[in-house]
Amino acid sequence: MAIKDLYQVNDAIRDKEVRLIGEDGQMVGIMSSSQALKLAIEADLDLVKISPTANPPVCKIMDYSKFKYEQAKKDKENRKNQTVIEIKEIRLSMTIDVGDIAVKTKQCLKFLEAGNKVKVSIRMKGRENARAFQGVKVMEDFFEGLGGKAVLDKKPAAEGRMITMMLSPAKQ
């Protein structure tokens, strides 16, 4: 959402009374919005409604273009510092061999070191549905093979034809 959509400025403020904060940050008092606008024009600045939900609404005398610039700069900095956590998926089977499980473990460790969460799943087919406990055992063995580099977010559980567990990177 654009910054200009968040704040009412100068003539857009239609309230009868506003609580005014001066350009120095000091409380001026409650007055009519037209009177507050006159004070802002005399100071060669803008009247900006910063808290529309208050009763009466709070307005501040400030340089709006400078304020917009500062807000955009803050938003850009916040976006730069935020990290996106992806969920990667690894599929196993109930009859997976030791060599294959080693490859899957290695891949899982790569995902975890990159800071991603990992969803490990097994899809059961046919008669495997009757032996879900074997799939859970495979999952538990897989988790032990990670050597403490992962934290179990969701324990392995059978949900219909799938057995799933969620892993996240362990804090070092």
Residue where one domain finishes, among candidates 31, 59, 80? 80
Residue 45 is part of a domain; what is its CATH number?
3.10.20.80
Same domain, yes or no, for 76 and 93? no
φ and ψ of 82, to 5 deg: -85, 145
Looking at the structure, tell me whether residues 72 and 41 fall in a common domain: yes
The domain boundary, picked from 57, 80, 103, lies at 80
94 lies in the same domain as 123? yes
Q: Residue-wise pLDDT tens for the chain (172 aa)?
A: 455 567 778 877 878 888 888 888 888 888 888 888 888 888 888 888 888 788 888 888 888 888 888 888 988 888 888 777 788 999 998 888 888 988 999 999 999 888 889 999 999 888 888 888 888 888 888 898 888 888 888 898 888 889 999 999 887 6
Question: CA nearest 10: which of 27, 43, 2, 1?
Answer: 43
Structural domain of residue 34, as residue ranges? 3-80
The domain that contains 155 carries what CATH number?
Answer: 3.30.110.10
What pLDDT is attached to residue 172?
66
> Is residue 63 domain-shared with residue 12, that is, in the same domain?
yes
Measured CA to CA, the distance from residue 120 to residue 144 in angstroms comes to: 13
Identify whether residues 97 and 122 lie together within a single domain. yes
When divided into structural domains, the chain yields a total of: 2
Considering the domain architecture, whether residues 123 and 150 belong to the same structural domain is answered as yes
Q: What contacts 24+ positions apart, CB below 8 Å, involve 92-99?
A: 92/120, 92/121, 92/122, 92/138, 92/139, 92/142, 93/122, 93/123, 94/122, 94/124, 94/128, 94/131, 94/134, 94/135, 94/138, 96/138
Of 50, 80, 110, the domain-final residue: 80
